[in-house]
Amino acid sequence: MWEDEVLDEIHRLREEHAKAFNYDINAICEDIRRRQNASGRTIISAPLKTPQHAQENAKAAES
């Protein structure tokens, strides 16, 4: 079976992070928010805009 080393590394890091917070989703999310704030990067908090074609398809489905 083929293995993806990058994906394996992501899973390992995610597991370590969750274990460090005793798998408490609230603590995990708080840590992620803290890290985001500390990064100094701009955080987009508004929902992304729906592409125009998706809006048109949704309207057509409603009709």
55 within a domain of the structure (yes/no) = no
59 within a domain of the structure (yes/no) = no
12 within a domain of the structure (yes/no) = yes
Tokens of 15: 């597991």
pLDDT of amino acid 42: 86
Nearest to 17 by CA among 4, 30, 28, 6: 28
Half-sphere exposure of 43 (CA within 13 A, CB side): 10
For the chain, the straight-line distance linking the first and the last C-alpha, in angstroms and rounded, comes to 47
φ, ψ at 34 (rounded to 5°):
-60, -45
Domain membership of residue 35 as a residue range: 1-40
20 within a domain of the structure (yes/no) = yes
pLDDT of amino acid 53: 77
pLDDT of amino acid 52: 81
Q: What is the pLDDT along the chain (63 residues), one digit of tens a residue?
A: 789 999 999 999 999 999 999 999 999 999 999 999 999 998 777 777 777 877 777 777 776
pLDDT of amino acid 58: 75
Distance of CA 42 to the CA centre of its chain: 16
- Predicted TM-score (pTM) of the model is 0.59
48 within a domain of the structure (yes/no) = no
63 within a domain of the structure (yes/no) = no
Tokens of 11: 């899973």
